[in-house]
Amino acid sequence: MASLILASTFASVHGFAAETRRLKESLPAEVRESIDRHEATAATHDDAYAEATMAYCSRWVCRRDPFPEHVMHTFVNLREDVYGAMQGPEWNVTGNLDDWDVTDRLGELDLPVLITSGRHDEMTSTLVSRTVRRVGFRLVLSLEHFEDALVLFDVPAILIVVLGDRHGTDAGRLLLP
């Protein structure tokens, strides 16, 4: 592998869950209460739960209104049985990934790493900064007008970043099409 792109990702599922709980607090009280009530009663298949979680997604996953077709396709075709088994509810990790944490291994990366995060990304600057501290000096691209999964949403504004060698040659040179 010559380089690595960590696009809107996290190194610890518990760190991610804690940050999404913090972001959830920015939602109106009735939305938060609906999410919490449905999760407490294991009623996450209820339409009211889906509506409440979409309020979160509209703020922290994709701010386009309406969602682009490919984003809706993802939400509609999300395999709840698989997601539930792997993670569980977004805010309370109960699945197989409950103890997934590669934070201590990030320093082993010995290649150019690009780390991206959008301004309204659920992979917040708090999560990204934890990753950056562990990876060491690498290129971090914080994009003010991009959401999560930025490459899916603004194809005409794709940014090409030249990743140099581990000594920094050309690292961080940003080319705009």
4-12+101-175 is a CATH 3.40.50.1820 domain: yes
Supply the mean pLDDT for the chain: 79
What token pair was written down for 11?
């190194």
**135 pLDDT higher than 50:** yes
Q: What average pLDDT does this structure show over 65-70?
A: 86
Question: Residue 175 — pLDDT band, cuts 50, 70, 90?
Answer: very low
Q: Where are the domains of the chain?
A: 4-12+101-175, 14-86
Of 49-63, 98-112, 114-128, 160-174, the one with minimum mean pLDDT is 160-174
Listed range (30-39, 79-88, 167-176) with the worst mean pLDDT: 167-176
Sign of the Cα pseudo-torsion (149, 153, 154, 156, in order) = positive
Which one-letter amino acid corresponds to residue 140? V
Q: What single DSSP character describes residue 46?
A: S
| CB-based contacts of 8, cutoff 8 Å, min separation 6 | 116, 117, 118, 121, 122, 123, 148, 149, 150
Task: Answer whether residue 35 shows pLDDT above 60.
Answer: yes
CA distance 142 to 63: 17
